[in-house]
Amino acid sequence: MKIIEWLSHPWPWYIAGPLLGLTVPVLLLLGNKTFGISSSLRHLCAICLPSSISYFQYDWKKELWNLFFVTGIIFGGIISATVLADPNPVQLNPSLIKELHTYGINNYDHLIPVDVFNWQSLLTIKGFLLMVVGGFLVGFGTRYAGGCTSGHSITGLSNLQWPSLIATVCFMAGGFIMANLILPFILKL
């Protein structure tokens, strides 16, 4: 039972960060593979869609490992949300609680605020902007940048790729702008 207790708590950055960073050389050494998540959607489409679309005409079977990897991430998330879930409310800084209260967010029982992210909110302007428009922008940005944050910021930077540095700087700038300028405006709607 000790291992379940140890796994159910957040790991410090000095353990989780290096473990995540070590996936890059391990994947490169074991099979000359690169770490990335967003490419798995292309692989799924290549499997399911007719091969007349030139973008999906490649040997997707060579990338099957990526689909297993993403499936592992999905099942890992399910296991951590059920078996390893902490029944206590999320611990937040009191100043953050005060700020969130001004936006009408008062429930901190889960990792995402159910006051904003629920099926009823999807039909509001705020919920539509956050869930649908935000999801579209993340997907569009991933394709436009030629990869996701894990592909560029973990694999690309470790391989000293200039486009990945540019993409990561843009990811960070966009995140700061969204969190500090746009999100407070949307949450007040």
pLDDT tens for each residue of 123-153? 999 999 999 999 999 988 888 888 888 889 8
Can you give the pLDDT at residue 1?
A: 58
- With a cut of 90, say whether residue 184 has pLDDT above it: yes
Q: Residue type for 177, please? A: I
- With a cut of 70, say whether residue 78 has pLDDT above it: yes
- With a cut of 80, say whether residue 19 has pLDDT above it: yes
Distance CA(189)–CA(184), nearest Å, equals 9
- With a cut of 90, say whether residue 3 has pLDDT above it: no
Distance CA(53)–CA(75), nearest Å, equals 31
Q: Cα-flanking dihedrals φ and ψ of residue 111, to 5°?
A: -70, -30
Percent of the chain clearing pLDDT 70 (strictly above): 99
pLDDT tens for each residue of 80-122? 888 888 777 888 899 999 999 999 899 888 878 888 899 999 9
| pTM given for the model | 0.77
Positive/negative CA dihedral, 147, 151, 152, 153:
positive
Query: At CA 158, angle to CA 174 and CA 162, rounded to 5?
Result: 60
pLDDT tens for each residue of 31-53? 888 888 888 888 888 888 877 88
